[in-house]
Amino acid sequence: MSIASDTRPTRKGFRFDRWAPLLLLGGAFSIYVAVAIATGQTQYLTFDNLIAILGRSIALGITAIGQTFVILVASIDLSVASLISATAVLASVVMDGSPAMILPAVLAAIALGGIVGLANGLVIIGLKVNPLIATLGMSLIIQGCLSAFVSNFAGEVPSAFQVFAYGEVGPFPFALLFLAALAVLAWGVLRFTKFGSDMYAVGGNEEAARFAGIKTGRIVILSHIICSVCASIAGLYLASRLRSGAPWIGSDGVYDLESIAVVVIGGTILAGGRGGIWGTMAGMLIFSLIDSVFNIAGVDSYAKQVLRGVIIVAAVAFYAINSKRIVA
């Protein structure tokens, strides 16, 4: 009917939008190799160093997996950054150096994530508040409550829990394997479960999904819960990495906007209904490769920020430019 809704080419074969994230990743990787060779710093090309690069973006990766779920249902979550701070502080305060409290702390953090996600979902579905506003408001509320109680590093993470961030299984850091497992799990949910296909349906066309008998509200709320739980896992990871929680670690990492940028660079469209986990993982790799390139090339940190903004836009433009839809 609508002439402007993206007219997909009917022929099978090479589908650009499916391969764009991989092309971008290949591009980023070859730039990385080229810069390392050009500056004569071939020590950066070892396997260990590549693992180290990945290790730096694990929290972003975990958050972005959750963000993928909400963006797929045409929602968005800006509250992840303050939720990360809140769960990191909560976990480290509950543990307070005692290994016996690890399990309660983890459960409390995940429960907090679940509650925040449920609240986000209910406000969006029940009160029909635009997700951007709802989660932005939620972010202000969480950050406000958090800074009312804590103003510095609080609590202490016992060394047994630091295994989450610093432990190694063979050549791989434990956290990296955890991220990979989480990605496989998320991919499985999206690919093989009814919930996954319902999510694509709701994101693609909510009204059609409702007429098809899908309980669209439930799907959106569930995606928000998944997103917030992922963010609280990222908070746990950061608490373990920093050995304590502080109320600014989420906003310092700009995890809200960066996780959205990662998801979008990975080819999941903000309008919902198209994309997937592997794109998000590619987006995360692209981000960390770009950072490493800047480090190797010794780019000034302010210039780095400028280039980063340009790269985010350019990367999204790379595959959006061919779409026929009118964006706003």
Partner 1 sequence: MTDTGSPRSSALRRRLSQINPVWVLLVLLIAAIIFMNPRFVEPTGYMNFLKRAAPLAILAAGQVYVIVSGGFDLSVGSLITLVVVGSSMLTNNDPAATYWVIPLMLTMGLGVGAINGLIVCFLRVPSLIATLGMMITLNGLAFLWSGGAPRGYLPDTFRFFGRELIRDVPLVRFIPVSVLVLIVVVGVFAWAMHRTNLGRHIHAIGDNPVAARLAGVPVNRVRITAFMISGLSGAIAGILLGGFAGVSTDVGAGYELQAITAAVLGGAQLLGGKGSVPAAFGGALALTAIFTLLNFLGLPQPVRQVVQGLILIAAVALAMHRRKQTGT
Q: Which is nearer to partner 1, 106 or 142 (CB)?
A: 142
Q: Return d(Cα 287, Cα 311) in angstroms, integer.
A: 10
Helix, strand, coil abundance in the chain, percent, nearest 5: 70, 0, 25
Q: Which is nearer to partner 1, 36 or 150 (CB)?
A: 150
Q: Return d(Cα 312, Cα 327) in angstroms, integer.
A: 17
Q: Which is nearer to partner 1, 74 or 209 (CB)?
A: 74
Count of beta carbons in the 10 Å neighbourhood of residue 49: 15
CB of 223 to partner 1, least distance (A): 18
CB of 225 to partner 1, least distance (A): 18
CB of 140 to partner 1, least distance (A): 3
Q: Which is nearer to partner 1, 80 or 106 (CB)?
A: 80
**DSSP-derived 3-state class of residue 15:** coil
Q: Which is nearer to partner 1, 183 or 264 (CB)?
A: 264
Residues 175 and 164: beta-carbon distance below 8 Å = yes
With 0-12 / 13-18 / 19 or more C-beta atoms within 10 angstroms meaning exposed / middle / buried, residue 298 is: exposed
Residue among 142, 136, 86 at smallest CA distance from 110: 86
Q: Which is nearer to partner 1, 160 or 254 (CB)?
A: 254
CB of 125 to partner 1, least distance (A): 11
Q: Strand pairing partners for 203?
A: none
Residues that bind partner 1 (CB under 8 A): 2-5, 123, 127-130, 132-134, 136-141, 143-148, 257, 260-261, 264, 269-271, 300, 302-310, 312-313, 316-317, 320-323, 325-328
Q: Which is nearer to partner 1, 210 or 308 (CB)?
A: 308
CB of 315 to partner 1, least distance (A): 9
Long-range Cβ pairs for the range 124-129 (8 Å, 24+): 124/75, 124/220, 124/221, 124/224, 125/217, 125/220, 125/221, 126/217
CB of 197 to partner 1, least distance (A): 25
CB of 240 to partner 1, least distance (A): 26
With 0-12 / 13-18 / 19 or more C-beta atoms within 10 angstroms meaning exposed / middle / buried, residue 180 is: middle
Q: Return d(Cα 231, Cα 142) in angstroms, integer.
A: 13
